[in-house]
Structure 1
Amino acid sequence: MKNLSFAIMFIVLAAVLVASQTLFVVKETERAVVLKFGEIVRDDVKPGLHFKLPIMNDVKKFDARILTMDSRPQRYLTLEKKAVIVDSYVKWKISNVARFYQSTSGDEFVANRVLSSRVDTGLRNQFGERTMHEVVSGEREELMTELRDRIDGVAQSELGITIVDIRVKRIDLPPDVSESVYQRMRTEREREAREHRSKGLELAEGIRADADRQRVVLEAEAQRDAEMIRGDGDAQAAAIYAEAYQQDPEFFDFYRSLQAYRESFANSGDVFVLDPEGEFFKYFKETN
């Protein structure tokens, strides 16, 4: 009984060992090639369960998803010989597994290094054919499309990969150029600020002059109205005085004399040199 159990376990272990050496699984996110003593005998193995010969065959698996190569920022010259710092990235995937393995030995680092060199040369040529305005805004999309199509053909023939997309993340100016550009922008903004201030001062002077003119006109009109009202009041007062004088001339003279005395002797320090017999002191002498 024990020998039978031992035999069954041995057979199972042997079957597992043989299966592990003859069966392999390719995931949905992978592609593979089967080698026979280092030579490709089956390429582009699709996802699923597959067989191989132990010892003779070897399997190399590769990531079939879209991969990203993020390049370091590089310095390029535009058509006007202006330097720019360009930060870009490339999206690529394996399209020909056999060629990819033959050209890179299945090493993504080697593929990225070769692809980076091609992209760097392509970007240098593309930027050298365009002006600063074109690479920044005018023809940026056209530049990326043209570069992708050009490098894609080379990448497929040399590396067995397809270029999905090439994008420029940022375009910056070198520090020395940036400082001169910022200084020029600062000077331009200061000039515009001075123009706005001068226009504001001119407008303020116009508003102030108009306000002064209105003030003079209002004061003149008010002075005119005051003089007219004062004149009407004086005329009415004169008419009232005249009417009162006609009713009792003697009393009117007496009343006016009292007003003259009150106004003349209002201050104790005032001194008058007058003839005591004059008309001014008439009511000082008369008792009846």
Structure 2
Amino acid sequence: MRKLIIPVVVIFIALLLMSMFVVKEGERGIVVRFGRILKDNNTEVARIYEPGLHFKVPVFDRVHDLDARIQTMDDQADRFLTAEKKDVIIDTYVKWRIKDYGKYYLATGGGNTSTAESLLKRKVVDSLRAEIGAKEIKQIVSGEDSTSAPAAPSDIAQTKAAKAALAVIEDVVPVKKVEGQRDQIMADVLEETRESAKDLGIEVVDFRIKKINLPDEISESIYRRMRAERESVARSYRSQGRQRAEELRARSELEVATVLADAKRKAQVVRGDADAKAAEIYAKAYNQDPEFYSFWRSLKAYENSFSSKNDILVVDPNNEFFKYMNHSELPAK
């Protein structure tokens, strides 16, 4: 009898251990019996086991732990076609968590996270493709109007290529001003994905566009167009600068010519007045003593004529010019 007690105790302990299971914090457990999920009494909702110690039927029940935390699906960027038939590469991320564990388990082939994210990504991409296909690049890249509240840090980070594309579209091709609809696109995709993900037992918490870029094969052409446009603007500025310089130069030359002409006119007036004054003085002097005046003028003429030793003057000695040199006596007063 004693020999039978020990095996019975061992079997009992083994069965007890096999019937116990622990659900970790941040997870939820469901029990599958004969391939079917155990449900709560009188309901069609799967029985969910909260974190802690629980019991099951040994051998027949299998426990599946499912992550109850918010998870992030951050896959590689995809290519989309805009309303202008232009390719853009958009990188996104999705925040999601399990809401209906039973439905999630069945829809994902046993609670496989990779399968769940693959199915969810397909829904997100389809919804985003429909939104992008109805919008222009400027609407996709731009957020709300500048008068609105600043965007959250998690919003889109516009890359250089996206800004370059927007600049080319604005500067090269005249387009009407439209309000940015990036935030509205994210809100619409979030709403549509949240609704369509219910059949997976998933709740989509958030959807964001991280980055918008252009394909590598056209980024260089965009940069070239942008560079050519900037060079054209620079040439226009240089041309305007040269035109302005010519205008200023012509205006300055006109002002200089006006000032010089006015100065010359005033100088001639002053010179004329001086000449008239000198003539008046000469006339008075001549009237006082004509002979002495003639003598003094002759001396000034001699001084001016023989101021340099190299001067040669060929004149008849009996010429009237030398009358005071031939007769040294002074004229009588």
**Does the TM-score normalized on the shorter chain lie above 0.5?**
yes
Per-residue deviation, residues 194-214 of structure 1 (Å, max 9, x unmatched): 333333333332222222221
Cα contact 2:23–2:65 (8 A) shared by 1: no
* Distance in structure 1 (CA, Å) of the matches to 2:288 and 2:57: 153
The residue number in structure 1 matching 2:76 is 72
Tell which deviates more after alignment, 100-109 or 89-98. Answer: 100-109
Per-residue deviation, residues 56-112 of structure 1 (Å, max 9, x unmatched): 555433332221111211122223332221211111111112222333323322211
The residue number in structure 2 matching 1:166 is 207
The residue number in structure 2 matching 1:154 is 196
Between the two proteins, the alignment pairs up a number of residues equal to 272
- 2:28 alignment partner AA: R
Paired residue for 1:51, among 34, 49, 54?
54
Cα contact 2:83–2:135 (8 A) shared by 1: yes
The residue number in structure 1 matching 2:20 is 22
Cα contact 2:77–2:91 (8 A) shared by 1: yes
Q: 2:38 aligns to what SS in structure 1?
A: strand
- 1:215 alignment partner AA: V
1:224: how far off?
Answer: 0.5
* Distance in structure 2 (CA, Å) of the matches to 1:58 and 1:242: 143
- 1:191 alignment partner AA: S
Cα contact 2:23–2:29 (8 A) shared by 1: no
Cα contact 2:190–2:207 (8 A) shared by 1: yes
* Distance in structure 1 (CA, Å) of the matches to 2:121 and 2:38: 30
* Distance in structure 2 (CA, Å) of the matches to 1:253 and 1:91: 120
Paired residue for 1:226, among 242, 267, 292?
267
1:37: how far off?
Answer: 6.1
The residue number in structure 2 matching 1:190 is 231
TM-score of the two chains, using structure 1 as the length reference: 0.80
Unaligned runs of 5+ in 2: 1-11, 40-46, 143-179
Paired residue for 1:257, among 288, 298, 308?
298
> What's the Cα RMSD here?
3.0
The residue number in structure 2 matching 1:125 is 130
Cα contact 2:97–2:202 (8 A) shared by 1: yes
Paired residue for 1:31, among 18, 28, 34?
28
Paired residue for 1:140, among 182, 192, 195?
182
* Distance in structure 2 (CA, Å) of the matches to 1:80 and 1:34: 52
1:223: how far off?
Answer: 0.7
Cα contact 2:18–2:58 (8 A) shared by 1: no
- 2:210 alignment partner AA: K
Q: 2:64 aligns to what SS in structure 1?
A: strand
1:250: how far off?
Answer: 4.0
Q: 1:261 aligns to what SS in structure 2?
A: helix
Per-residue deviation, residues 145-178 of structure 1 (Å, max 9, x unmatched): 2222222223221x21111122222222222333
Q: 2:48 aligns to what SS in structure 1?
A: strand
Paired residue for 2:312, among 264, 271, 279?
271
Residues 206-245 of structure 1 correspond to what in structure 2 (within 5 A)? 206-245=247-286
TM-score of the two chains, using structure 2 as the length reference: 0.70
Cα contact 2:23–2:49 (8 A) shared by 1: no
* Distance in structure 1 (CA, Å) of the matches to 2:57 and 2:293: 151
Unaligned runs of 5+ in 1: 1-13
The residue number in structure 1 matching 2:96 is 92
Cα contact 1:44–1:96 (8 A) shared by 2: no
Per-residue deviation, residues 19-64 of structure 1 (Å, max 9, x unmatched): 896363542x3333244566433633334x3421473555433332
* Distance in structure 2 (CA, Å) of the matches to 1:167 and 1:239: 102
Question: How high is the sequence identity, in percent, across the aligned residues?
Answer: 42
Cα distance change on mapping 1:195 and 1:136 into 2, 3 Å: same
Cα contact 1:77–1:83 (8 A) shared by 2: yes
Cα distance change on mapping 1:129 and 1:277 into 2, 3 Å: closer
**Are 1:202 and 2:243 an aligned pair?**
yes
Q: 1:45 aligns to what SS in structure 2?
A: coil
Cα contact 1:91–1:165 (8 A) shared by 2: yes
Cα contact 2:98–2:104 (8 A) shared by 1: yes
* Distance in structure 2 (CA, Å) of the matches to 1:93 and 1:277: 135
